[in-house]
A and B are shown apart, each in its own frame.
Chain A
């Protein structure tokens, strides 16, 4: 699959725009704008994780918020143990992002393996409902488990640290998130161009043919699902640090819906689709949220219109429909 020149140009604009606007905002002394763009970068990262299974693999996971929330809880729980000095599972807590991130990815990947093994036995509507139900199971567990705040959530009193940067400064935190997002986009492009990516996309189109040429679809799908959960979990850890708070609502089913919306609005399977989608969603919320308290009504109408009439998302509208070989 080759990106068209227009899509390539659009991607460059998105990547640079995402970086330049916060730099301008620092100069113009608009910290709110920096935070808003940090949110866009984090949500784009979470969406990118989902895009791997939904966009490339055609697996509609309606429970990806569970990894987002789990990543958030990893950051929150490790920070709390570092704060109060109590060990967790015999190990000390930590406030170092470079330790928290691998932990968040490992834990999310393990959960993705369990959910994946069970739910990838099914497909279609069953898969949608089952991923939703498993996410809901963890959500209710987080609500009723009192040790880490239960329904009230878990605050992070001091943002976790990154060597050489001051994470309490909005621009520094933004640059961390932007950097992680760019690395993840590079990884996504590599995966898409690899033999593994080719197999994954072929499974979306016709699993029986893939099986007939000697590739077992289940293993490929499971690997993609685990990688996807790890990336979305990493985004959750970043989000917990941005809002200095983690709560069950991060894994609510509406969050799973928002992640799907991000991909669809941006363009399913496109490299920068989640970036465009996250920018649209956050921009919509900030713009219309200030005008009317009923902005979700308009979001619903826009989404409905996009599904019924503009398939291919924003990037599809601008760069033209993708040719799938």
Chain B
């Protein structure tokens, strides 16, 4: 085990964390502004990946595919917000869970019907293929680009929320939705826009990760559950919390899977060590979540402190 390997795993963790941030940002924004828990967020991730794979395959251009994936996810988000989600804002969380669980069933089966039951493959753009020398390691250029991309989007999102009129309305909506409606802001339209924005971010994450993993039905739900862990750690509704939580989860999960089996190998035989190490590593982030809950039941950055 060398320094180079650890460095490489750290970068992988950072990349994973930033992709988780794209997922968690929309989820936490929708909860913060509308008070809605959306299980179907993972389906929007899947829709982004599928449309990207098909559009990129048809045009031969990854970037067109990425745009198509984001547009499709945003459109699907706006559509389900207007058809279903809108009726759920005044309902309790149980109804929201059930209705969005139903949406997962519908969207997963519909995706299967439209795109077929087999996984699709999406290639990273040629300009980002190969590796780049970072001194210690040769690192895949595409993964490095994902890190840059994630940071860029995070910056853009921060600017949007801190510096634009839409951002002011979003922040106002988090604080007092009756008041901003009374001030003449079209709250229905605002909700649709926020939901579509979150959907576009999820679709972007799905498309970007789709080039590293297979694009298949059900790809969204494991990421969705990790995004839940992220926003529970970060504090539900807080974008800053989502960023910190996503990076913590990404790095700790990746490093745990890398280091724990090796740590157990010091005093156990190889096969036993890899089994116990892997099993414990898969539990690490949940233990982190439990720890945060014990110390800070409302997360690291509670929205209404």
Q: Which of B61-69, B107-115, B172-180, B208-216 contacts A (4 or more CB under 8 A)?
A: B107-115
CB contact between B101 and one of A136, A143, A261, A297 (< 8 Å): that residue: A261
Q: Contact between A253 and B286 (Cβ–Cβ < 8 Å)?
A: no
Complexed CA–CA distance, A227 and B42 (Å): 32
B71 contacts partner chain A, Cβ-Cβ < 8 Å: no
Contact mask for chain B residues 98-109; partner A; CB cutoff 8 A; 1 contact, 0 none: 110111111011
Indicate which residue in A121, A125, A136, A296 contacts B286 across the interface (CB closer than 8 Å): A136
* B159 close to A (CB within 8 Å): no
Given A146-B275, A294-B109, A294-B113, A62:B293 Cβ within 8 A:
no
Which residues 235-273 of A have a CB within 8 angstroms of B?
Answer: 253, 257, 260-261, 264
Counting chain B residues whose Cβ lies within 8 A of the other chain, the interface size class is 35 or more
- Inter-chain CA distance A284–B175, complex, in Å, is 44
Q: Does A137 contact B (CB under 8 A)?
A: yes
Which residue of chain A lies nearest to B99 when distances are taken between CB atoms in the complex? A307
Tell yes or no: A156 within 8 A of B by CB: no
CB neighbours of B287 from chain A (8 A): 137
Task: Indicate if the CB atoms of A297 and B113 lie closer than 8 Å.
Answer: yes
B221 in the interface (beta carbon within 8 A): yes
* Partner of A144 from B95, B101, B225, B278 at Cβ < 8 Å: B278
Contact A308 B289 (CB under 8 A): no
User: Is B301 an interface position by the 8 A CB rule?
Assistant: no
Cβ contact within 8 Å between B283 and A304: no
Q: Which of B93, B104, B105, B282 has the most CB of A within 10 A?
A: B105
- Asked if A260 and B236 make an inter-chain contact with CB atoms under 8 angstroms apart, the answer reads no
Q: Is the beta-carbon distance between B101 and A303 smaller than 8 angstroms?
A: yes
Interface residues in A128-168 by Cβ distance below 8 A to B read 128-130, 132-134, 136-137, 140-141, 143-147
Q: A60-B94, A144-B279 are in contact. Are A126 and B236 (CB under 8 A)?
A: yes
Tell whether B97 is near chain A: CB-to-CB under 8 Å. Answer: yes
User: Cβ of B232 and Cβ of A257 under 8 Å apart?
Assistant: no
B31 within 8 A of A: yes
Cα separation A264 to B232 with both chains bound (whole Å): 26
Tell me whether A300 and B104 are in contact in the complex, defined as CB-CB below 8 angstroms, given that A140-B283, A141-B279 are known contacts. yes
> Is B259 on the interface with A (CB-CB < 8 A)?
no
Near B by CB (< 8 A), chain A positions 263-317 give: 264, 294, 296-297, 299-301, 303-304, 307-308, 311
B97 touches A303 (CB 8 A): no
Q: Enumerate chain A residues within 8 angstroms of B101, measured Cβ to Cβ.
A: 257, 260-261, 303
- Contacts A141-B279, A300-B102, A300-B106 given; does A260 touch B97 at CB 8 Å: yes
In the bound complex, residues from chain B placing their C-beta under 8 Å from that of A144 are 275, 278-279, 281-282
Interface of B is mostly: helix
Interface membership of B243, Cβ < 8 A: no
B282 and A140: CB pair below 8 A? yes
A146, B275: Cα distance in complex, Å: 6
**Interface flag for B87 (CB, 8 Å):** yes
Contacts of B109 in A (CB 8 A): 294, 296-297, 300
Q: Which residues of A contact B140 (CB under 8 A)?
A: none
Instruction: Give the CA-CA distance A296 to B43 in the complex, in Å.
Output: 15
Tell me the smallest distance from the CB of B236 to a CB of chain A, in Å. Answer: 6
Residues of chain A with a CB closer than 8 A to B46's CB: none
Assess whether A303 is in contact with B102, with CB atoms less than 8 Å apart. Answer: yes
Chain A residues whose C-beta falls within 8 Å of the C-beta of B94 in the assembled complex? 54, 60, 260, 264
Q: Tell which of A130, A145, A294, A304 touches B275, judged by Cβ atoms closer than 8 Å.
A: A145
Instruction: Give chain B interface residues in 276-299, CB to chain A under 8 Å.
Output: 278-279, 281-283, 286-287, 289-290, 293-294, 297-298
Given known A130-B232, A137-B286, A308-B99, contact A297–B105 (CB-CB < 8 A): yes
Least Cβ distance of B42 to chain A in Å?
Answer: 11
Q: Please tell me which one of the listed residues B37, B106, B283 contacts residue A137 in the complex, with CB atoms under 8 A apart.
A: B283
Instruction: Report which residue of A122, A130, A299, A311 has the largest number of chain B beta carbons within 10 angstroms of its beta carbon.
Output: A130
Using a CB–CB cutoff of 8 Å, the interface residues on chain A facing chain B are 54, 60, 62, 118-119, 121-122, 124-126, 128-130, 132-134, 136-137, 140-141, 143-147, 253, 257, 260-261, 264, 294, 296-297, 299-301, 303-304, 307-308, 311
Q: Which residues of B contact A (CB under 8 A)?
A: 31, 37, 84, 87, 93-95, 97-99, 101-106, 108-110, 112-113, 221, 225, 228-229, 231-232, 236, 275, 278-279, 281-283, 286-287, 289-290, 293-294, 297-298
Report 17 cross-chain contacts, Cβ distance below 8 Å, ordered by A residue: A118-B294, A121-B297, A122-B293, A122-B297, A126-B232, A128-B93, A137-B286, A140-B282, A253-B225, A261-B98, A264-B98, A296-B108, A300-B104, A301-B102, A303-B98, A307-B98, A307-B99
